[in-house]
Structure 1
Amino acid sequence: MSHPPAPASRPRRPLELWCDTFPSVSETFVLAEARALAGLGHPVRIGAGAPGDGPGDHGLPVSHLWREGTGERLRAMAAVAARHPWRCLQDLAARRRWRREEPVPPLRTLAPAIRRLEASGALVHAHFATGPALRALRASRVLGRPWSLTAHAYDIYLAPANLPEKLSAAALVTSGCEYTVQELRRRAGPGDAGRVHEIVMGVDPERFRRTAPAPGGRRILAVGRLVEKKGFALLLDALADPRLARADLVLVGAGPLLDALRAQAAALGVERRVRFTGALAEDAVRGELEAADVLAMPCVVAADGDRDSMPVVVKEAMAMEVPVVVSDAVGLPEVVVPGTGVVVATGDASALAAGLAQVLALGPAERAALGRAGRARVIERADLRTETARLSALLAELPETARGHASARPTD
């Protein structure tokens, strides 16, 4: 369901976006969303567990949880305990339950952030239903304020720590595609499913716009962490197919499978046609997209159940009019529909090779038409501005008090 932006005359709620690390080269969507929310008039601060590996010139205020000194934490904890003694005791009692599924830092670690939230009146929006969500839940209960959550993929399927409680406690839950939204609604149960909404992790179509003619070659690009769920081992198998004998592959990303993928490329005899770049900053990824003839995203469900949702780089490629070939896994078929790209069977290297060969065999006019259709689809389905306005409207509807707060003993 579409939600219009909140009226311009209404002051926008101050927000803190909580995540594990910031800035992170593999989570550029957090920065993009934060900037878009700020552009709508929300005062925005990032609350991160620790500094990340991304560029520092992002222009947003950031608080890093683990940088605060012991003295600062103890002073803040004393103030929080004095203001909310009963709720602090409730937090202490709940830690044993939470620890069965995930690490739970002492409340004093969160105390400076809780004090900051109390002073600013900011609403916490957590990215990932892991540590950031637990921290948001705890701060919310101490302050008696609502919080919201965006769950992504690994936090749903691979590491769903205390997930039912987090889904029940959050005043609003979002996820980036219908595939994950339906799973979250199932796990939340009938009583809480109505608070789970789809907000696509969008891209800025002005930033991701082609600035040079399409190269017209046979360069395949793949971007993502080098982990099983991305399907890059399958992509190397496809590259060895005779139909792709004249194609090259640029593989952007870092991760635990780097050595295994290098060894696989050598064993297949395609190592001279594969360039491993390592992780790249957003601007460099954009440059690789500009030079690519097709983007491959052959996602699979990993043996341990880990999976993607709707990778942002697919939408970035489509916005830049780069043809895409994707598997029919997870949320990819929701954005890549007939006429906007090629969807192939998951886990089938021959089908993947055929799809890539199909795109590379197109003439310039046909490639351009496919690229234009892809860009139009992203503007329709995954425009950052539209999706962020929908999120802002949902946040504006949240109550002033946390779910279940009325049952807590008043201590203020």
Structure 2
Amino acid sequence: MWPRRHARFDRFVLRMESEECGHARRRLIENGTDRHVKTVAYVLNEFPVLSETFIGNEIRAMAKRGHRIVPIVLHRPRTAGQPDDRLLANEAVYLDAVPGHLVAAGALTGLPFGRRRLLAAAGFLRAQTSLDRRQLFGDAMKIAAIAARHRCSHVHAHFADAATSAAIVAARWMGRKVSFVCHGREIYTSPQDLALKLESADFVVSVSADLTRDLINVTPLPLIATIPYATDPTYFHTRYDVEDNGRLLFIGGHLNVHKGLDDLICALELLAPRRLMLDVVGDGPYRPYLEQLSDIKAPGMVRFLGSRPMEWIKQHGPDYLGLVGPFKVAADGSRDTGPIVVKEAMAMGLPVVASRFMGLKETVTDETGFMYEPGDIEQLAAAIRRLVDLPTAQRRAMGEAGRQRVIAHFTLDAQAEALSDLIETM
């Protein structure tokens, strides 16, 4: 029990005993497979973020498996997230709303675990160089207080940034297991004490095989499990009963250079006599340049729709001829390590044209789409031409093969099962 003077803290803590989680637990009991599932603190730097749907998807899938999830967020979002994620955000604990005196309460959680645990936390705190130690310690103690209040037995973070640092210090201080998901930018563009974080975790999740290889090259010490981004195929539907709208679709979320939209626009220029039409879903500071480029290279062929919620993609995505995913490495090294949008398109029954890039090589096959070497605009144009020239029946067969591949290999249920098994065996 918390002391009475901490009663106002209840306004800030998460109550994740949702109906979905409760139903999942009851189903486990009814099916004769009742088992203890851990309560997991999810430590996030910012949430929700419109283009980071994979975090909310993972939380909901883990809750469906019966886990009680306690999202703890360091910073409030700068923009609105997806509607489903905003519902989760209403239940999250934001550290700026947590009373400062809980730093002391968090510090008390380490006392039962003795000097060894405290030295592990203090050792990380001293060794890391990317964050102010006082701020990191304060955030970690708040996380420890929240996690202790909810009896969390595992601490899990996304992105190897400040959230992971705080999660490691909090977990070690409390004597809990800790893990995090590495998404790529932490190694390719802005590494922050990455080797230290890898070696301090009980296990690390990588979202693609190539990323796993590169992380092992940093340090082979932790268990690094490859668990690709996944989607829920039951959320999407196909539309084979009507003719497609004849347009190509690009979904970029945040329009960064590594999304490859500039290559796609240049490929449309090579295909100009065909007058292929492209709709672009996404936004960001790079958009004005891309609009200018499309006016020069492919005038009248590109329509920028801005950001769209997942409900819009679900409703209108199946209308398109196919999706193009021209991902590549940007000059600064940034990249998408496992673009989930390709799996979502496949779940909608769309054939895809995609670069032979990390996270895509293990997703797209000859039966589900056409691939090309990243950055090769002529190959990209040729792949688009091959897709467009397919008879309607063959395009639909390719789209259906893609949907079946997602069902077989890339479902959220399978992703959550793999992560849950790792957490439960720690």
- Listed one character per residue, the Cα deviations across residues 347-388 of structure 1 (whole Å, up to 9, x for unaligned) are 111111111121111111101110011111111221111121
Aligned residues: 384
Tell me which amino acid in the other structure corresponds to 1:50. Answer: H
Where structure 2 has 5 or more consecutive residues not aligned to the other structure, the ranges are 1-27
Judge which range, 359-368 or 42-51, deviates more: 42-51
Tell me which amino acid in the other structure corresponds to 1:77. Answer: V
Tell me which amino acid in the other structure corresponds to 2:67. Answer: H
Pair 91,145 (structure 1): closer, same or farther in 2 beyond 3 Å? closer
State how far apart, in whole Å, the 1-side matches of 2:125 and 2:308 are: 38
- Aligned partner of 1:355 in structure 2 is 383
Q: 3-state DSSP class of the match of 2:141?
A: helix
1:342 correspondence with 2:370: yes
Pair 366,82 (structure 1): closer, same or farther in 2 beyond 3 Å? closer
- Listed one character per residue, the Cα deviations across residues 98-143 of structure 1 (whole Å, up to 9, x for unaligned) are 23x3565242233332112123231111111112211111111211
Q: 3-state DSSP class of the match of 1:253?
A: strand
Cα distance, 1:279 vs structure 2: 1.8
Cα distance, 1:61 vs structure 2: 2.7
Where structure 1 has 5 or more consecutive residues not aligned to the other structure, the ranges are 399-412
State how far apart, in whole Å, the 2-side matches of 1:244 and 1:343 are: 22
State how far apart, in whole Å, the 2-side matches of 1:116 and 1:96 are: 23
Conserved 8 A contact 2:128-2:196: no
1:40 correspondence with 2:69: no
Q: Residue 163 of structure 1: which of 170, 194, 202 is its match?
A: 194
1:113 correspondence with 2:133: no
1:240 correspondence with 2:266: no
State how far apart, in whole Å, the 2-side matches of 1:359 and 1:135 are: 47
State how far apart, in whole Å, the 2-side matches of 1:90 and 1:176 are: 28
- Aligned partner of 2:308 in structure 1 is 280
Cα distance, 1:297 vs structure 2: 0.7
Q: 3-state DSSP class of the match of 1:179?
A: helix
State how far apart, in whole Å, the 2-side matches of 1:277 and 1:110 are: 41
Q: How does 1:15-30 map to 2 (within 5 A)?
A: 15-30=40-55
Conserved 8 A contact 1:214-1:293: no
- Aligned partner of 1:260 in structure 2 is 289
- Aligned partner of 1:143 in structure 2 is 174
Conserved 8 A contact 1:295-1:325: yes
State how far apart, in whole Å, the 1-side matches of 2:136 and 2:188 are: 27
Q: Provide the alpha-carbon RMSD of the alignment.
A: 2.2
Tell me which amino acid in the other structure corresponds to 1:168. Answer: E
Query: Relative contact order: is structure 1 or structure 2 higher (C-alpha 8 Å, sep ≥ 6)?
Result: 1
Pair 35,90 (structure 1): closer, same or farther in 2 beyond 3 Å? closer
Q: How does 1:87-98 map to 2 (within 5 A)?
A: 94-95=124-125, 97-98=127-128
- Aligned partner of 2:421 in structure 1 is 393
Tell me which amino acid in the other structure corresponds to 1:141. Answer: R
Pair 16,212 (structure 1): closer, same or farther in 2 beyond 3 Å? farther
State how far apart, in whole Å, the 2-side matches of 1:303 and 1:103 are: 30
State how far apart, in whole Å, the 1-side matches of 2:376 and 2:422 are: 40
Q: 3-state DSSP class of the match of 1:38?
A: helix
Q: 3-state DSSP class of the match of 2:283?
A: coil
Q: Percent identity?
A: 30
Report the TM-score when normalising by structure 2. Answer: 0.84
Q: Residue 332 of structure 2: which of 269, 288, 304 is its match?
A: 304
- Aligned partner of 1:408 in structure 2 is none
Conserved 8 A contact 2:121-2:168: no
Tell me which amino acid in the other structure corresponds to 1:132. Answer: A
Report the TM-score when normalising by structure 1. Answer: 0.87
- Aligned partner of 1:226 in structure 2 is 255
Cα distance, 1:244 vs structure 2: 6.4
Judge which range, 196-205 or 44-53, deviates more: 44-53
- Listed one character per residue, the Cα deviations across residues 174-194 of structure 1 (whole Å, up to 9, x for unaligned) are 1122111111222222x33xx
